[in-house]
């Protein structure tokens, strides 16, 4: 019968080393405040409805991208069957709704990839709403609830 070696590369038994490492990890997580998100900006809660030629647009991806020198995290949503969206700032570990305050470029697209809910799906909106030079812009207010509806048409708002 062979004996099992319970010693690590240091020559010490493994279990005390693992116990000390576990305590160190828990202490580090506790001291860094993993339970709260103190690094979040004062988000504006944004929701609304997307219409195209007067009809709600289901399963469209809505993206807000901060404009300016400091940039920031893009926020996204996918509209429900009635065209309603609610922007999500963080998805994991806990879903946090909202968008960074300030000016935003907005992209709305019906093209969904296979990994998106309801995808894959082809584009049906004009490129002026989702291309690099989107005509959609908005200013998100900090700490406020904003309802921002988008009434899109074939003329790109002209």
Asked if 142 contacts 44 with a C-beta cutoff of 8 angstroms, the reply is yes
Query: Of 116, 124, 117, 119, which Cα lies nearest the Cα of 153?
Result: 124
Output the tens digit of pLDDT for each of the chain's 158 residues: 555 555 555 555 554 545 555 545 544 444 444 445 556 778 999 999 999 999 999 999 999 999 976 778 899 999 999 999 999 999 888 899 999 999 999 999 998 877 777 777 889 999 999 988 789 999 999 988 999 999 999 988 76
DSSP 99: B
What's the CA gap between 98 and 42, in Å, rounded?
9
Query: Of 132, 134, 128, which Cα lies nearest the Cα of 154?
Result: 128
pTM of the complete model? 0.72
Asked if 48 contacts 85 with a C-beta cutoff of 8 angstroms, the reply is yes
Query: Of 99, 94, 98, which Cα lies nearest the Cα of 37?
Result: 94
β pairing state of 150-152 and 45-52: parallel
What's the CA gap between 68 and 88, in Å, rounded?
20
């Amino acid at each position: 019968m062979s004996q099992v070696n319970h010693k690590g590369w240091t020559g010490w038994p493994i279990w005390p080393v693992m116990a000390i490492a576990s305590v160190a990890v828990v202490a580090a997580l506790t001291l860094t405040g993993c339970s709260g998100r103190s690094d979040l900006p004062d988000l504006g809660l944004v929701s609304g409805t997307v219409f195209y030629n007067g009809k709600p647009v289901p399963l469209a991806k809505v993206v807000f991208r901060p404009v300016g020198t400091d940039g920031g995290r893009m926020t996204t949503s996918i509209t429900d069957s009635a065209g309603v969206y609610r922007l999500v700032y963080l998805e994991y570990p806990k879903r946090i709704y909202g968008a960074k305050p300030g000016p935003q470029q907005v992209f709305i697209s019906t093209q969904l990839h296979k990994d998106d809910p309801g995808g894959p799906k082809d584009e049906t909106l004009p490129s002026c709403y989702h291309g690099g030079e989107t005509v959609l812009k908005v200013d998100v207010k900090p700490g406020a609830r904003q309802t921002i509806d988008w009434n899109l048409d074939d003329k790109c708002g002209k």
